[in-house]
């Protein structure tokens, strides 16, 4: 049961964090003829996923070093918050004029943006490499073929992003409580462990809601002033 729960969590994390990947894939291949776009998307995605698996396995090993699990958890809490308040920063991404140029753009951009996904998946896997690979293999076809649909779904149902952010915050909090240096302390205080997990999820979602509310007020004031 724990294996399947972790696998579902990893797939969900992959999908929630796939929005940027989908945008990169679409923008990198947009200048190609229609018949070449599919080849560029498949080639770029395969290359990006290969690098992602290697990076995640490396991070899984790194998280076994004392205190790095706690640091990774804190980083993932920040990523969970940024997921809710992120700005569109893809305007400068150049489309490739050839299949190989597009594939290269997809792989490089994905590698540069993939830290959040790598840390989240490594944390949710708890050292199980099979979970890492299975989660990515399950989510690849969804990202490639259903990325546009998933983005539209998020636009229609914005609350999905808050659910995703909550899952990331929960995963991050679990990484902190599983840090070997302090895990024994939490093991002796199960109620404190659960309180910490719940509070972290609430804090991240509330911070995202508050930031977005303030941002909307500023945008509304600027629009009225104009």
| pLDDT tens, residue by residue, 67-121 | 888 988 898 898 888 878 865 555 445 555 677 877 777 777 666 666 677 888 8
Tokens coding 136: 């990515």
List of residues 6+ apart from 8 with CB closer than 8 A: none
- Can you give the residue range of the structural domain that contains 36? 2-225
How far apart, in whole angstroms, are the C-alpha atoms of residue 79 and residue 142?
A: 22
Q: So what's the pLDDT on residue 25?
A: 67
Tokens coding 35: 């018949």
Q: So what's the pLDDT on residue 151?
A: 56
Domain count for the chain: 1
Of 12-16, 17-21, 45-49, minimum mean pLDDT range: 17-21
Is residue 188 classed exposed, middle or buried when 0-12, 13-18 and 19+ CB atoms within 10 A define those classes? exposed
Q: What confidence tier does 22 reach under pLDDT thresholds 50, 70, 90?
A: low
pLDDT at 179 over 80: yes
Q: So what's the pLDDT on residue 208?
A: 92
Convert the pLDDT of each residue in 143-176 to its tens digit: 666 555 655 676 688 888 888 888 889 989 998 9
Separation of CA 134 from chain center: 16
| Phi, psi for residue 126 in degrees, rounded to 5 | 50, 45
CB 22 within 8 A of CB 147: yes
Could you tell me the sign of the dihedral formed by the alpha carbons of 11, 193, 1, 160, in that order? negative
Query: In the Cβ-directed half-sphere of 182, how many Cα atoms lie within 13 Å?
Result: 15
Other Cβ atoms less than 10 A from the Cβ of 36: the count is: 15
Helix (H, G, I), strand (E, B) or coil at 98: coil
pLDDT at 213 over 70: yes
pTM score: 0.72
């Amino acid at each position: 049961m724990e294996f399947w729960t972790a696998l579902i969590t990893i797939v969900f994390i992959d999908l929630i964090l796939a929005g940027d990947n989908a945008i990169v894939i679409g923008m990198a291949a947009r200048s190609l003829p229609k018949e070449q776009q599919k080849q560029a998307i498949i080639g770029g995605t395969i290359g990006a996923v290969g690098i992602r698996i290697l990076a995640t396995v490396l991070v899984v090993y790194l998280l076994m070093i004392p205190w790095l699990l706690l640091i990774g958890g804190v980083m993932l809490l920040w990523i969970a918050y940024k997921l809710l308040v992120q700005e569109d920063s893809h305007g400068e991404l150049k489309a490739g004029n050839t299949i190989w140029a597009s594939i290269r753009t997809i792989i490089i951009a994905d590698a540069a943006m993939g830290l959040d996904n790598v840390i989240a998946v490594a944390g949710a896997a708890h050292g199980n490499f099979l979970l890492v690979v299975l989660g990515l293999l399950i989510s690849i076809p969804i990202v490639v073929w259903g990325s546009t649909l998933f983005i539209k779904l998020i636009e229609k149902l914005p609350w999905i992003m808050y659910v995703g952010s909550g899952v990331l915050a929960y995963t991050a909090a679990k990484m902190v409580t599983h840090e070997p240096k302090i895990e024994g302390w939490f093991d002796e205080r199960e109620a404190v462990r659960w309180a910490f997990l719940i509070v972290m999820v609430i804090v991240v979602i509330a911070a995202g809601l508050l930031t977005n509310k303030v941002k909307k007020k500023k945008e509304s004031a600027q629009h009225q002033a104009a």
